[in-house]
Structure 1
Amino acid sequence: MNSEWQTFLAQQQASIADDQVSDFGAPQDELSAADSATVIADLSHQGIISATGSDTESFLQGQFTNDVQQVTPEQSQLTAYCSPKGRMLASMRLFRRGDHYCLTLPRPLLEPTLKRLRMFVLRSNVTLEDASDALARFGIAGPDAETLLGAHLPGLPAAVDEVVQHQALTVIRIPGTQARFEIHGPAEQLIELWQALHNGGAIPVGYPAWSWLDIIAGVPSLDTDTTDAFVPQMANLHSLGGISFKKGCYTGQEVVARMHYLGTLKRRMYRAHVNLDTPPAPGEPLYSADSESSAGKVVLAQPAPNGGVDLLAVLQISSAEAGPIHLGQPNGPQLEFQELPYSVALETG
């Protein structure tokens, strides 16, 4: 975490461990705020890989599921990095700041992703670095997010994935059931902006509340226990604009394309609620009541504002439709399915 930014957050009564803010002293109130109010959240739990050099665009184009040529200073994208077998090693957002391509992904996956990408640079003019602590970043979301942020940074991005550069600040509109933005930039300027938004009524919240907003938006985030577990379509990445089926070859492309053109999706990501006090870990197995073999895995789970746990899970579609689905074991707590804010295409090609 950027040291200046960390000092500021600590002064705001943030509980910080392992580059992640757990809360600002009132976890349950923060979850409630995320559900109904406008909130601001530190995003240091996201690591950043910086890519520079004259061959960067062509190099990244051969690595990721989306069309890197469409990434401009005004346009970002969700994308995935896959194994040769087409399984996601990481999902991330790709955007530009000046001549830098920036990849945001969960901190635990940054080092293995960076190490693997560097293996394929070879003689290309590409430099890959861990830039997580070079800048600071935070998010804002909620019913007044656009009004509050727009009062200080006019001309905000209007559509999801769009980017606006405000001098040294990069503002990205990201998926959400209400307006939601990421802001990246120097700590000094972000401190000033955070204070202005807080004074305007935005409520500081920790990582669990922001992660809950990802769940409500149906946006997957991989962990060390779910990396290399899902083909991108299983995590609904095609429905979130995270896959290009028109670009050239990339690692894992044959498997991803085959599923698109020749098959019907047999697993997809669902949103659900379960009556538990503690969220299950990513990768926790899910079962049909009549089967001892796993029907799927938890992708992401967080406490829900009104009690229990909300989660995203990749499941066999046939099992989810037959129901019920149980967590942890065939007679474990039962999932209550909830609507995603987007439709998922099952017929491919």
Structure 2
Amino acid sequence: MIIGFNSANLLQSRHRLNYLTNNMTHSIQAQLVKLENWQAISVSGDDTNKYLNSQVTCDLASLADTQASFGCHCDAKGKLWSQFYLIPTNGETLLFQHKTTLAKSATELSKFGVFSKVNIKAESENYEFYAVIGDISNLVETELNQTKALETGFLCKLSDGLQLYVKSKAEQIEPILTNLNSADESLFTQQLSLKVLPFITEQHISEFVPQMLNSHAIGGISFKKGCYMGQETVARMRYLGKNKRACFAFTAEASSQIEIGNTIEVETDSSWRRVGQIIQVTTHDNSAAGLAVLASDIEIGAKYRVKESPDTCVIIQALPYSLDY
């Protein structure tokens, strides 16, 4: 037994967490969440697609007019300034992301944008964002990574049971969505975590390469397009097998003291060894969930804890998709 860590308490915590995790992943009644901490960089103009294609990892040239996509904006060394969800709308392209990465990403995009016919704004003046969480197939049909035009904006399906509602600021809530129960933004963050759809906050700007956040696995990187900022590093991570990290979901008890930037450790024969750090965490209802960048070869069933809170057990979840290229 490792000194300073109560194995009996750990076992009890693991049993409780397995129960809570099963409840988190069951079918959720459809709910509407206003996203106060999320916005989008707006890019418009005749050269929008051509210019963005020279700056970000996804291939805009291969996207249909109504097709959305995950993508990344990197520095010259291939480190992330932002991870975003690209949404085409009438007259502008939106790069949806956490508000804390907007300023840096928009500033860097604007540096070279002066040489192209583009208009770049750090926040969209026309749209605000909601999440629709749960099954809404009885209200409207949506397809994965496709924008569906509504009377008041657009719906985009990020994953099963998770839609992004892009609402015109000049309009009221879409009539078919007005009867949905409202929920706290923590539910959106929880669902992003459980579905392992990573976004970074300002704390981790210029720290990770895209593959460490599974960007290639969720359609956020094209390895066939032309040059873009950071491409050499991103390609090296694939073709030379340089990347040894990946993003995983974890769950913990709601009372856990966990913060972004905390370290996750794994139990070894005689001690605890660092395996990565937390990039997202939230508490909703009776449980906590988050994302951590860990060694890509971790053992899912091993015992993990938070270094800064040694009595806090976390359970690492198996990925819902493959990391293969």
- Please name the residue that 1:262 is paired with: 240
SS of equivalent residue, structure 2 residue 116: coil
Taking the aligned partners of 1:164 and 1:55, their CA distance within structure 2 comes to 24
- Please name the residue that 2:133 is paired with: 141
Q: Does the aligned pair in 2 maintain the 1:279–1:302 contact within 8 Å?
A: no
Per-residue CA deviations over 1:299-339 (Å, capped at 9, x if unaligned) read 2112254x331121110134556943321349452321223
1:340 aligns with 2:319: yes
- Please name the residue that 2:158 is paired with: 174
Q: Does the aligned pair in 1 maintain the 2:306–2:312 contact within 8 Å?
A: yes
- Please name the residue that 2:220 is paired with: 242
Match of 2:292 among 294, 298, 313: 313
Taking the aligned partners of 2:311 and 2:232, their CA distance within structure 1 comes to 37
CA pair 197-34 structure 1, distance change in 2 beyond 3 A? farther
SS of equivalent residue, structure 1 residue 260: helix
- Please name the residue that 1:4 is paired with: none
Taking the aligned partners of 1:297 and 1:95, their CA distance within structure 2 comes to 29
Give me the TM-score of the superposition, normalised by structure 1.
Answer: 0.78
Taking the aligned partners of 1:32 and 1:189, their CA distance within structure 2 comes to 33
1:81 aligns with 2:65: no
Q: Does the aligned pair in 1 maintain the 2:68–2:87 contact within 8 Å?
A: yes
- Please name the residue that 1:225 is paired with: 203
1:157 aligns with 2:149: no
- Please name the residue that 1:101 is paired with: 93
- Please name the residue that 1:301 is paired with: 281
Q: Does the aligned pair in 1 maintain the 2:252–2:288 contact within 8 Å?
A: yes
CA pair 85-324 structure 1, distance change in 2 beyond 3 A? farther
Q: Does the aligned pair in 2 maintain the 1:137–1:190 contact within 8 Å?
A: no
CA pair 314-62 structure 1, distance change in 2 beyond 3 A? same
Per-residue CA deviations over 1:179-199 (Å, capped at 9, x if unaligned) read x22222324534253xx5343
SS of equivalent residue, structure 1 residue 233: helix
Q: Which amino acid in the other structure matches residue 146 of structure 1?
A: S
CA pair 32-310 structure 1, distance change in 2 beyond 3 A? closer
CA pair 70-267 structure 1, distance change in 2 beyond 3 A? same
- Please name the residue that 1:121 is paired with: 113
Uncovered stretches (5+) of structure 1, i.e. residues with no partner: 1-30, 151-155
Q: Which amino acid in the other structure matches residue 204 of structure 1?
A: S
Uncovered stretches (5+) of structure 2, i.e. residues with no partner: 1-22
1:327 aligns with 2:319: no
Identity %: 23
Taking the aligned partners of 1:327 and 1:313, their CA distance within structure 2 comes to 11
SS of equivalent residue, structure 1 residue 174: strand
Q: Does the aligned pair in 1 maintain the 2:264–2:278 contact within 8 Å?
A: yes
How many angstroms does 1:204 deviate by? 0.3
Q: Which amino acid in the other structure matches residue 66 of structure 2?
A: E
- Please name the residue that 1:14 is paired with: none
Match of 2:104 among 96, 112, 124: 112
Q: Does the aligned pair in 2 maintain the 1:33–1:39 contact within 8 Å?
A: no
Q: Does the aligned pair in 1 maintain the 2:38–2:99 contact within 8 Å?
A: yes
